[in-house]
Chain A
Amino acid sequence: MPVSAGNSKLVYDALLDAGVEVVTALPETWLVHLVRLAEDDPGVTLIRLAKEEEGVGISTGAHLAGKRSALLMQNHGFLQSVNGIVSCAQLYKIPLLMLISDRGHLGERDPWQTEGGKVTRRVLDALGIVFDELGHPDAVASQVAKAMTLAQSSLSPVALLLTRDLMWEEPA
C-alpha cells in the first residue's frame, strides 16, 4: 500500500512530542500506519470510533481530566463531526487537535472523495478553525508542535490537513 510509513511515523512521533496520550480515530486508508502505531504503543490509549463525532466528546473528556489527545479522521469525518465541534469543543473551549486526511484535493482519483475535498477548507474557515497543511516531512514536527501550542493557548480546535504529498507515495 503506497501510504507513506515513514511520514506517518514522523507525524506520530510529533504527536508524542506534543504530549498526546489519547488518540481517537476512525481508520481510513491514509491513516492506517498512524492507527497501527497508536495501537502498538503501550504509552498511548487508542480509541477506535464508530463515528468521528464521538472523538470530539472523548477529547473533551480527556482534556477536562488533564490529558492531551488527538483526533485522526478523514475530511468526511470532519464534515460529519461539525455539530460536535461547534456545540462541544468550541462552546466549551476545548483544545481539540484534529489530524484530517485531505481527500478529494489535487491528485485525487476516487470520484466519491471529490465533493468533500472541495469544501473542507471552506468549512474549516467558516467555523473559524485555524488550520495548516502538513506537506513536507521536514516541517511536520514543528507544525504539529505549534498546532498543539495554539490549541492549548487558545482553548480551541486546531486542524492539520494530512496532504497527499505527505501521506501518499505513488507506486513506481
Chain B
Amino acid sequence: MERRANPAFYALLVALVLMAVGPIWLMLATSLKLNVDIISGTSALFFVPTLNNYETVLCDYLWYEPEHVRRCDRTFGRALVNSLIVSTVATFLTLILGCMAAYALVRFRFMGRGVTSLTTLLVRMVPPAVLLVPVFGIWTFQYGLDGSRAGLVLVYVAMNLPFVIWILQSFIVQVPIQLEEAARMDGAGPFRTFFLVVLPLIKPGLAAAAIFTFRIAWNEFLLANALADRNTRTVPVVIVNSITEYDIDWGVIMATGMLLAIPPILFTLVASRQIITGMTAGAVKG
C-alpha cells in the first residue's frame, strides 16, 4: 500500500515500542537504583545509577570487596553457575539427540515410524506442572537423581526433545536429497553423511532449536524447585524464594532478575530472524 503514512501511525509505533520495552526498562532502572531512590520514587530516567545491587548479587565473583556488602550471600552466585551448567548441557544434548531422531523420521521408512512421529507430536503439549508429581517420585525413589544437576538435565532434555525433533524435521526436509546420495556414492556411511553433509546445511534450524531449548531450561522454575537441593538450585528458584519473604529488597531482586533476563535478551538481539523462523515454522506446520 503506497499511502503516505500519517503521524498517528508513527505515534502508534512509538507507543507500541514503549509498551514492549517499558517494563524491561523499569526493571533495569530499578536494578541500578539505591533503595532510597526506589522508595522515594525518583523517576525512571533521571537518577544516579549505581552498581551496588549487582555487586551484592555477584559478591562471590568480584575481585574486590564492595564496602556496602557486609556479609556475602553466596546463594545467587551458586545458582547462576548451576543455571548455566544445566541449561547449556541440556541444550547441547537435546540438539544432538533431537536432530538425529528428526533425520531418521524424515529420511527413512521403517517399522514404528508412524507411532514415533505421532507420540512425539502428542507429548509436545505436556506442561511441567503435569510432570511435577511423577518426576518428583521417580527421581527421588527410583533414579536417585533428586538434588543433582544431572536430574534436571535429564528432565529438560526429555521435555524439549519433542519440540526440537518436530521443528528440525521441517528444516531437514528442505535439504536436497541428491547431496546425501552423492555423499553415499563417495562411500560415506549414514552417520558421516549426517554429521558432515546434513548438519552444516540445517544450521539456521539448529540455532532456532538451540535458542528455544536454552530458553526453556534457563527459565524453568517448577521442576527445578521440586528437584534441586540447596546446592543445585537454579536462578528462578532463588528469585522465587527471595520474594516470598515479607520484606522485598527490590533493588537486589531486580538485579537478579536482570541477570536472568540478559542471556535471552542477547539471543533475541543476535538471532531474532532464526527465532521468528522457528516460531512461524511451528504454527504453519502445526
- Does A pair with B? no
> B interface vs A, CB < 8 Å?
none
Mark A residues whose CB is within 8 Å of B: none
